[in-house]
Amino acid sequence: MNKRELVKKLQEIEWLDFEAKEAKSEVPKSSWATVSAFCNTAGGWLVFGVSKKGKDYEITRVDNPEKIEQDFLTTLRGDKFNKLIKAEPKKYDIEGKAVLAFFIPSMHSKDKPVYFNSLSNTFIRTGSGDQRATREEIDAMYRNSSFDKKDEELTEFTFEDLDRETVQRYRTYLESREPEHRYNSVTARQMLELMKVIIGGKVTVGGALVFGTEEVVTSVISDFRVEYLEVAGTSFADALNRYEYRMPVLKNLFEYYFAISEKLKNHVNIPFRLKGMQRDENQPQIKAIREALVNLLMHTDYYSNARPRIRVLSDRIEFFNPGSLPKAVKYILKEEFSMPRNNTIAHIFRTIRLSENIGSGFHKMFTGWTSYYSRKPVVEGDFDYYKIMFYLDKKVEEKAGEKVTEKLGVKLGVKLGVNEETTQKTTQ
């Protein structure tokens, strides 16, 4: 942050990543809450030598900048905090007045929560202020610190406790998608052992959530469910009814994937296109929404008090995921970064090719969706959740060509022996 950027910040009203304090002769005690909040959230600048009067900020100066800088940095490297914090210091001279600024980085999820003196002094940044973290928020940070390990923990259940119908359905699907896969030549129990779904005779948490009976799954996660809602409006407020459809509770994640996937297909436009002599229903935009679904199931923090949720509204489809992303989306897209929260669940879905193996899932979501729709998916979130929104705005050229495509599609469909009513539905 240079001098011009600092002055600009002082002219604004609120900032998520900026906190100013007077600090005329000593480090303010309230600074430690801000340091904790920045470390636990998205990082930010802590500025000394500025006072607030109403909504205005005034540069007041730091009397002894060298001493205050040393005191502040020494404390961050001492035992007041539970983690070593490496702040980036800067000094400014504004109209003959000394101002100190320190960039406090966001800590890696493995190092959170960051607190001072005791765990009760754990803070997070909400809006432009510091808030003491709740017990649930602290618990979420601890779960994030063991990001990719929770679903590998062992349960008390064995192979005999799993849902046989689900296991067989999975094997049948694998044989159809990967007929040469080595898992096809072994027994169901051996397959699950090779996949690390069963370790030492015990079913992992991830394995129980995908293959378990209702009794097994609810023994692991008592309030297990994936919410799926269809709302006839852009929000609950403008809908005549709170929701048009709500999916009932299903027994495990494998059932949820296929049930929700079928529902979502009805809300994504699939223009009539031929692939060989068959109608192509597996177009990039439908692949994008399926990838978002499996991404939700692989990355959800199932121990959170919140539940994974899909909402289909009139202008968008939303995927709400309890649990944060391991990195910012821009880095995930740039680096094709892959670090699922639930490794066991990810391996189960990737084995049958329902998800990408090489970290390109987010890339598929973004490029696939914009191949037909005009807006990129929007991602927002915090340390304990993220949400992906797919807006249903069609591209201009798609709108202009839809009627022509529909007429041509129906004619071709009829020639291929496809029911006309079905053909018209897929072009809508």
- pLDDT reading at 213 higher than 90: yes
CATH of the domain at 279: 3.30.565.60
Q: Do the bridges between strand 97-104 and strand 123-126 make them parallel or antiparallel, or are there none, so unpaired?
A: unpaired
Q: What is the pLDDT of residues 109-125, one digit of tens each?
A: 888 999 999 999 999 99
- pLDDT reading at 161 higher than 70: yes
Locate all alpha helices (DSSP H) within 212-283, ordered by sequence: 214-220, 253-265
Do 196 and 301 belong to one domain?
A: yes
Q: pTM here?
A: 0.70
The beta strands (E) that lie in 129-264 are given as 129-132, 198-199, 202-203, 227-230, 245-246
Do 134 and 186 belong to one domain?
A: no
User: Which residue is it, tokens 């915090």?
Assistant: 382
- Quote the CA–CA distance of 89 and 6 in Å, as a whole number: 13
**pLDDT at residue 15, as a whole number:** 61
Do 390 and 401 belong to one domain?
A: no
- Residue-wise burial string across 366-395, b where 16 or more C-beta atoms lie within 10 A, e elsewhere: bebbbebbeeebebebebbbbebbbbbeee
Do 240 and 106 belong to one domain?
A: no
**pLDDT at residue 13, as a whole number:** 46
Mean pLDDT of all residues in 310-329: 89
User: Which residue is it, tokens 């390109």?
Assistant: 360
Parent domain of 419: 397-426
Do 253 and 305 belong to one domain?
A: yes
- Quote the CA–CA distance of 69 and 73 in Å, as a whole number: 6
Cis peptide before 113 (omega within 30 of 0): yes
Q: What is the pLDDT of residues 379-405, one digit of tens each?
A: 998 878 899 999 998 876 655 555 555
Total number of domains constituting the chain = 3
Pull the structure tokens for residue 137. 């928020």
Q: How far is CA 124 from CA 33, 39, 73, 109, 114, in A?
A: 8, 8, 21, 13, 10
Do 330 and 347 belong to one domain?
A: yes
**pLDDT at residue 159, as a whole number:** 98
Do 389 and 401 belong to one domain?
A: no
Do 96 and 197 belong to one domain?
A: no
**pLDDT at residue 104, as a whole number:** 95
Sign of CA dihedral 419, 421, 422, 424: positive
Do 379 and 420 belong to one domain?
A: no
Pull the structure tokens for residue 156. 């008390």
Cβ–Cβ under 8 Å, residues 345 and 301: no
**pLDDT at residue 402, as a whole number:** 55
Do 160 and 297 belong to one domain?
A: yes
Do 139 and 204 belong to one domain?
A: no
Q: What are phi and psi of 7, to 5 degrees?
A: -60, -40
- pLDDT reading at 83 higher than 60: yes
Q: What is the pLDDT of residues 11-54, one digit of tens each?
A: 654 566 888 899 999 999 999 999 999 999 889 999 999 987 77
Do 19 and 166 belong to one domain?
A: no
- Quote the CA–CA distance of 327 and 332 in Å, as a whole number: 6
**pLDDT at residue 33, as a whole number:** 97
Q: What are phi and psi of 253, to 5 degrees?
A: -70, -30
Q: Which of residues 100, 125, 145 is at a domain's end?
A: 145
- When the pLDDT of each residue in the chain is averaged and rounded to a whole number, the result is 86
Q: Which of residues 118, 145, 172 is at a domain's end?
A: 145
- Quote the CA–CA distance of 86 and 348 in Å, as a whole number: 40
Cβ–Cβ under 8 Å, residues 260 and 310: yes
CATH of the domain at 81: 3.30.950.30
pLDDT higher at 10 or 387: 387
Confidence tier at 423 by pLDDT (50, 70, 90): very low
Q: Which of residues 145, 174, 204 is at a domain's end?
A: 145
Element (H, E) at 378: strand 378-382
